[in-house]
Structure 1
Amino acid sequence: MRRRSLLFAAVPAGLVTLAGCNDDTSGSGKAGASPSASASSVPPPKIVDGPLPAITAGTKFGEKPTVAKGSGDPSKNLAVRTVIAGSGRTVAENDFIQANYLGQIWATGKVFDNSYDRKTPLVMQLAQGSLIDGWRYGLAGRKTGSRVEMAVPPALGYGTSGNPQGGIKGTDTLVFVVDLIDSFNSKSSSKGKVVVQSDATVPKVGTNTDGKAPSIKIPKADPPKKLVSAYVLEGDGPEVKANQAILCQFQGLVWDSGKTFEATYGSGRLSQISLEQMQQVVKGLAEGVTGKKVGSRVLVVVPPDLAYGDNPPSGGPVKKGSTLVFSVDILAAM
């Protein structure tokens, strides 16, 4: 299992939104220490320009930065500056962000966490209770492609309890450099290259990229007996690994009836799916997504023995022996 971020939980439990499973799109999780108590309802903090330590090396977007130790006393307010201005989409609260970051302690310059060395960007919802409030307030309104530096006072970090696992005291101001790579919301779609769908024995999936649910046309024929996994839109991101989770839009239909039993499109939310957890629920969906590229839309047809078999969720359109059809937009992997 890859190492998780020290301060931000990568994948909470129960992230699968399929029938019969728990749903959690909040992005909250089980890090070594929870976000600060400032996630309760308090007025937005005052944001100031500084002081902020100098970035002395790794000054380009995407490079691991080296940051000087803080000089003098930090501000009691949240200090934020855009070091490199991006030109991408403006990040809003409740969006999911994909970012690389480095965090260190103001007074000592000690680095307590960074994603650059893990070579796996953080994917997290910019929402109350999901991550420390310094990030929530400091990154909202910034554009993707930007590098942002922040000095986060204790009240907007880990409060008076600090974070012992990270060596953070309750009086420590935290300094972050954040490279905002991308952002996603409930209107996001995969943007990959259209792949010709020539197999008339499997469903044909729409290729629209406007955030709306793609059409799924199921042929009037017997379903395949083996798992089908095929690109509809092929992205250019890294291949998804079996021990990762994905941030996605998806919809699931029953082959025989064509009825939708679960979907994120039009729901105002995205789904985070742990593939390891999905192995215990709908094994074929986990297998069908594994190895596919981030940024893709994937058709997955799951035969009963790799789905719910003779034990479907009660009260829904999924019956005993149902073959399931999924369209999955893989927006990010974590």
Structure 2
Amino acid sequence: MRSRLALILAAGVAAASLAGCGAQAQPEPEETASAAECTPSGEASDAIEVSEELGAKPTVTFEAPLEFSETQRTVVVEGDGEQAEAGAAVEAELTLIDASSGDELITTEHDGSQPVAVTLDETWPPGFVKALTCATVGTRVVTTITPEDGYGSAGNPQLGVAADAPLVLVADLVSIPEPPLARADGEPQELPEDFPAVEVVLAEDGAPTVTVPDEEPPAELQIGVLQKGAGAPVAEGDNVTVHYVGVDWATGEIFDESWANGAPATFNTAGVVPGFSAALIGQTVGSQVVAVLPPDQAYGDDPEAHELGGKTLVFVVDILAAS
């Protein structure tokens, strides 16, 4: 459910199906406990020259191949904002480089326009977590990431990361958004009379059970508000945190959900299928939305192109945060 870039970088988070990226196995952390502490600098990370101009893509210079045996983290620019703690959801701009060749693998603009939502927990490779944990908002850090703390023996083909490749990461910590709501908390709303007769029943924790009517699905995108939140509206391009459940109209079966994972999903509105994005943009934080997506607003008509191709999908979404 997160943006495509975040999914490719995380390479193994839940809800990847909606953004169109497959999950990959995570390597074991090199030092599990150290992710909750400030990772120290070292000879290798100190040897990397990184430009200090924030708001612009960094210039990164080092002699390749850069050799190191541990993940090291050097602060290039010290910010004066809030400090990121282990487990926090943060937004950062990132440049990832192959330490062996010096080749840039992926980068954002570093101008605030492309922040990546990163959760500082086991859903991300340990090296990314070590880079950003303890950083303060406004900080730029450079981190040497061992293969064990990166993508391990699996690598990351979508990024061009080879098996057992060491990496260099430059990260700018842009913001630490307010913690998301636990569930939608808005005022109950009546659905339009012509809205499909989808039934939504909530458990005590807010998890919805969705019952699809025994009738032909609508041919057009349908969006209804079940609860109207009092928070800020979701804008196009926002990173949003949601709880959701997705149901196949034809079978009534759940094909994807966040509730079963025990944690909400965070993604960019530009990184999901069109109907899901349309169901969020303009809605307010705290709202619960139900949307019926025909194939042209979901995964298209071809079941060979995607396992959900040709299907009408029903989503119930709690909007918990947006930034």
Q: TM-score higher than 0.5 here?
A: yes
Structure 2 match to 1:158: 151
Letter in 1 for 2:50: I
Structure 1 match to 2:207: none
Structure 2 match to 1:233: 231
Distance 1:70 1:238, change over 3 A: farther
Letter in 2 for 1:126: L
Cα displacement (A) at 1:67: 0.6
**Aligned pairs, number:** 251
Distance 1:145 1:108, change over 3 A: same
Q: Matches of 1:102 and 1:4 in 2, distance apart?
A: 12
Q: Matches of 1:232 and 1:155 in 2, distance apart?
A: 44
5 Å matches for 1:63-82?
63-70=56-63, 73-82=66-75
- Conserved? CA contact 1:102–1:177, under 8 Å: yes
Structure 2 match to 1:331: 322
User: What is the TM-score with the length of structure 1 in the denominator?
Assistant: 0.56
Q: Matches of 2:25 and 2:271 in 1, distance apart?
A: 22
Distance 1:84 1:249, change over 3 A: farther
Which piece of structure 1 moves more, 134-143 or 38-47?
38-47
Structure 2 match to 1:44: 34
Structure 1 match to 2:50: 55
Secondary structure of the residue aligned to 1:178 is: strand
Q: Which runs of 5+ in 1 are unaligned?
A: 17-28, 190-210, 251-263, 307-323
Cα displacement (A) at 1:44: 3.1
Q: Matches of 1:38 and 1:247 in 2, distance apart?
A: 26
5 Å matches for 1:199-238?
216-218=186-188, 224-225=192-193, 232-234=230-232, 238=235
Letter in 2 for 1:120: Q
- Conserved? CA contact 2:243–2:317, under 8 Å: no
User: What is the TM-score with the length of structure 2 in the denominator?
Assistant: 0.58
Identity of aligned residues (%): 18
State the Cα RMSD in Å.
Answer: 4.8
Structure 2 match to 1:123: 117
Match of 1:13 among 12, 15, 18: 15
Cα displacement (A) at 1:13: 3.1
Q: Which runs of 5+ in 2 are unaligned?
A: 196-222, 245-257, 294-314
- Conserved? CA contact 2:144–2:168, under 8 Å: yes
Structure 1 match to 2:22: 30
5 Å matches for 1:148-187?
148-160=141-153, 162-170=155-163, 172-184=165-177
Deviations 1:281-317 (A, max 9, x none): xx7x86441x328xx52645659x88xxxxxxxxxxx
Deviations 1:213-234 (A, max 9, x none): 7854448xx6543656677333
Distance 1:170 1:277, change over 3 A: closer
Cα displacement (A) at 1:104: 0.8
Deviations 1:88-114 (A, max 9, x none): 332222222221100112232210112
Structure number having the greater helix percentage:
2
Letter in 1 for 2:98: I
Structure 2 match to 1:192: none
Structure 2 match to 1:20: none
Distance 1:90 1:70, change over 3 A: same
